[in-house]
Structure 1
Amino acid sequence: MTQNAPLSARPIRLSAHVEQRVLSVEELKALGVSPARAAAQCRDGGPWQQPLPGVYVLHPGPPTGEERLRSALLYAGRRRGATETGYGEGVVTGLAALALYGFSAAPPLGSLDRIDVLVPRTRRLRSARYAHVVRTAELPSPVRLAGLPVAPVARALADAVAGIGDASAAHRLLTEAVRGGLCEPDAVVRELSRAKLLGRAYVVHAVDSLTAEGRALAECRLYEMVRTYDLPEPLWNVDLRLPGGPHLGGVDAYWPDEAVAVELDTGAPRHSAPAGDRRLAGHDAEWSAYAAEREHLEGLGVTVVHLTPKRLQEAPEQLATVVRTALMAAADRDPAAYVVILPR
């Protein structure tokens, strides 16, 4: 009589080492559970559920936010007919990724109507329920958070902005990324440009705000580095020019006796990345002029030290050593050309 009992009446006891409550059909097969037996567990009143094709949640209650995320990754990452287990080629992005990074401006995982998962463009896979498939020509190298493959912050931000279409929400997310030191402004701009989002007026406005804020934060870190590591006090934010001659460019810090300048590479003049051929041409011309100014300064004997905001945050002591070495080396160099120093 027991042999004729329906499959759903026979509870499945998995090995004690199986702690994960979200498994794909391939993972269940590897544990000795056939697709038919798994499906039987999901009948009305059964102990399991199948929220997405080929994915099972091994309890009857509503899936948690993390379980929904794992199930979306399993659905998007697995290939039909494949035997491998795990998340395969899926990479979580968008608001779900930002929630994993701890963004306060991102909704909690449990409240998200959809979970964006990146897959290769060649995959033939449709979105299903809350699992939103995003095809891409090039998968980013994922960051592992809680064992899950997650897109880097800049990519996740761009995908989130593309999906929400809300000016205030986009501004909050972008601002939090910069203020929290989670991402550099130029990295965000590159991803927004790649996603062709810089044609949206509210995105351009948000980018201008975040790059300005990013520069202000970098300047504060530069001030702190100089004073923490006892570097000589420079002239801050000055313009340099030849006597009666052309403008040579502005620098963030300048030691006139040693002819050493520090320039923060914050992406400026790349702040407002272009949209359209006309803006692109203007952008390229602006950047070429910027590079020419730097080369001109160095040709006049001025040592220009380029510092990135990310390195200033991560390795200020190392960068202070670089600046100190440049100052000490001034005595061994030929004298630099005389330049006029003006407030910027």
Structure 2
Amino acid sequence: MRIEQLRDRSDLGVISAVALKSLGFPNPWLKCGPGGPWQRMHPGVVLLHNGPPTRDQQLTAALLRAGPGAAVTGAEACRQHGLPARGSEIHVLTPGSARGSGALILERASPMPPASDIGGFPLVSPDRAVVDACRQLHSSDEATALIAAAIQKGRCTPESLRREARTNRFGTKLVRTVLQELGRAESVAERDARRLSRRIRLTTPRWNVTLADADDLIIGRPDAWFDDVGLAWEIDSKAFHYGPRDYERTLARNSRYAAAGILVVQTLPNRLRDNPEQVARELKKAHRAAAARPRPPVRIVEVA
């Protein structure tokens, strides 16, 4: 059989050893040795060339190794869903009992979760993909970034992720911990801000409260409000990313703060993440400056 015909019988150049034997190659592994024209991808799986496999070929080989009914999950499925997951491993759920090798994780699932064909590959839902990806992580920050991205992009909701973590509890402690923290914060940046605030031990801030001036006009809703000294802390994670109208709203908000006599510290999320000590110094200095002058006549109000 000519190699062109053989490749037509394969899937992206990936084929099982069983299929090769049925096509007249009783010992295909002889062609997979050093310098051979083919290469062994996994036990029972051959790639019909000896160059680096593409990612699609790696996925095809992983699914062929896993057997019928398998589905991609974890970091690779997250990326296919448009989420920024780390990890080069390929994680596949299978109803069978095949074992993984190298960077291939094969996990038996019973029952198998629903899967959808995306880009030619069966993928689990974004919720299951995110939970399984986090099961392979050891960093709270990496898990938080992935979970927050999934929520912000509308692929998942906090409740759908909690439900998935409850259904698939093995190894999901990190997911559940991150979701609990995010439940107390509106963003990853706010989570980092809360941590920094606890560490530097200034007066206890109030989070996401609405402020009004002496004439009962609404001033703003700072991310953190140090009520005893009249200091606002804004984590401007959105205003500098979405467009001119958001920028205009930020300027108008800052003008209202200034008119009411409120000192405000503005922090970008990347500085909070990458330079927390510098942010801490700025916040302490602003807190001292706010405490050294009369507190402005503003108050917290309840907004229906």
- TM-score (norm. length: structure 2): 0.55
8 Å contact kept, 2:99–2:106 = yes
Measured in 2, the distance between the counterparts of 1:95 and 1:167 equals 15
2:98 counterpart of 1:119: no
Equivalent of residue 61 in structure 1, options 30, 40, 51: 51
How many residues are aligned here?
A: 189
Let me know the Cα RMSD of the aligned residues.
2.8
> Partner residue of 2:71?
91
**What is the SS of the residue equivalent to 2:56?**
helix
Distance 1:73 1:58 in 2: 16
Q: Distance in 1 between matches of 2:26 and 2:158?
A: 48
* Distance verdict in 2 for CA 1:198–1:61, change over 3 Å: closer
Alignment deviations for residues 228-257 of structure 1 (CA, whole Å, 9 cap, x no partner): xxxxxxxxxxxxxxxxxxxxxxxxxxxxxx
Following TM superposition, the consecutive aligned residue runs of length 4 or more in structure 1 with deviations greater than 3 angstroms are 10-13, 15-19, 26-30, 197-203, 205-208, 210-214
Q: CA deviation at 1:204?
A: 2.4
Rounded to whole Å, the distance in 2 between the matches of 1:39 and 1:163 is 32
Residue pair 1:90, 1:118 contacting (<8 A) in 2 also: yes
Shift of 1:150: 0.9
1:20 equivalenced with 2:12 (yes/no): yes
Structure 1: how far apart are the matches of 2:51 and 2:172? Answer: 44
Unmatched tracts of structure 1, length 5 or more: 1-9, 78-87, 215-341
Hey, what's the Cα distance between the residues in 1 that align with 2:144 and 2:122? 26
Q: Which runs of 5+ in 2 are unaligned?
A: 188-301
Aligned residue in 2 for 1:149:
122
One-letter amino acid of the counterpart of residue 14, structure 2: V
Relative distance call for 1:95 and 1:13 in structure 2 (3 A) is: same
Residues 200-252 of structure 1, C-alpha deviation per residue, up to 9 Å, x if partnerless? 367423344268649xxxxxxxxxxxxxxxxxxxxxxxxxxxxxxxxxxxxxx
Identical pairs, percent? 30
Q: Cα distance 1:49–1:204, how it changes in 2: closer, same or farther (>3 A)?
A: same
After superposition, residues 34-45 of structure 1 pair within 5 angstroms as 34-36=25-27, 38-45=28-35
Match of 1:135, as an amino acid? R
Alignment of 1:1-344 (within 5 A): 12-14=3-5, 17-18=8-9, 20-29=12-21, 32-36=23-27, 38-77=28-67, 88-103=68-83, 105-107=84-86, 112=88, 114-120=89-95, 123-196=96-169, 200=173, 203-209=176-182, 213=186, 343-344=303-304
